[in-house]
Amino acid sequence: MAEFTMELSDEQKEVRDWLHGFAADVIRPAAAEWDEREETPWPVIQEAAKVGIYSLDFYAQQYFDPTGLGIPMAMEELFWGDAGIALSIVGTGLAAVGVLANGTDEQIGTWIPQMYGAVNDVKVAAFCSSEPDAGSDVASMRTRAVYDEATDEWVIDGTKTWATNGGIANVHVVVAVVDPELGSKGHASFIVPPGTPGLSQGQKFKKHGIRASHTAEVVLDGVRVPGSCLLGGKEKLDERLARARERARKGGERVKNAAMATFEASRPAVAAMAVGTARAAYEVALDYARTREQFGRPIIDNQGVAFQLADMRTSIDAARLLTWRASWMAVNGKPFTAAEGSMSKLFASETAKKVTAQAVQILGGNGYTREYPVERMHRDSAIYTIFEGTSEIQRLVIARTLSGMPIR
């Protein structure tokens, strides 16, 4: 087990500085353009692939960092550059985590490389869980997957929404209901290979923030996938469903579903994204406060501004520490007995919203214009309290974990 430390190793520092350089030199200069265009920044993803950031090898190295700090460190630096572009670069990772969390070794080896493509032919992947009537309420999911024993295929029908890279992805990972009577416990995840008939892109959303990241509906109309595309395999699914039915009959313990396993694994990473955006806004505000003069002196000389900056930095550092703790616990197999993953996501996402709003306030009228990046950062920050579990859901998870009660 890796010993917990506050000090990054020399190798980790090198990676951090490398990522920071890419974020500063490649991502930031392109941020405003792609935010305005509201399109996937393929040229930036291509550059990330050329230098090795957008690759399976890079994310595997960070994912298996024994300290647990590889992924959060990478997320913070990339999202410090720009949240929309960074999400386009790392969005494939959520689908990859879905396969890692639920798939067999063979499925992991087969599908994750196809999610990224090659340096000269980059691809993206999409994780499809939310539905028009089932966001936080995963038990209301309607997308169905029915097993056709005669052909050893699963037939999937339904509509997914809010899917990052939805419809433009090479590989889609789709969560569907296989046993409606079990509610959220009757879900399973499926790989939908590239070019599969019946899968199409629905509405593409025009968003408040993270506009360089493609978000759309995914429509599944009689989509047929081989039995081998059921993540984990049918034998494992049948065993899990049998246990769930028995526990339901006895009124026993809750069973995690496929989507929740993915979200639990990714929450500290989302927290790190929020930390990166908050840090970026704080740095702009700090620099502005040092150079902007009113009444013959820099505005940072005023306690009203200086104290805000002190609170901003304190909250950012606290959010990072909660994120690092959860990431260290996850990689070392420590159970989240107090919902530490949700804690990190809750605090970091709320911090990002607050800090970016404070940055806009410190810049005053300038902060409200697109001439300064804090306006975009403030819009981008809103997503952190919404996607992969709203702040209300995080509080619910924490409260249930602490109390052991089925709080509603």
**Residue partners of 175: CB distance under 8 A and separation at least 6:** 128, 129, 141, 143, 187, 188, 189, 190, 257, 258, 259
Two tokens, residue 375: 């306006």
pLDDT number for residue 249: 77
pLDDT digits (tens, 9 = 90+) for 206-259: 999 999 999 999 999 999 999 999 999 999 999 999 999 988 777 654 545 555
72 burial level (CB within 10 Å; 0-12, 13-18, 19+) = buried
Residue 2 pLDDT grade (very low, low, confident, very high; cuts 50, 70, 90): low
List 76, 217, 264, 388, catalytic entry:
388
Whether 18 shows a pLDDT value over 70: the answer reads yes
Amino acid making up residue 302: N
pLDDT number for residue 294: 95
**CA dist., res. 405 & res. 256, Å (int):** 16
pLDDT digits (tens, 9 = 90+) for 337-350: 999 999 999 999 99
246 catalytic per annotation: no
pLDDT number for residue 366: 98
Predicted TM-score (pTM) of the model is: 0.93
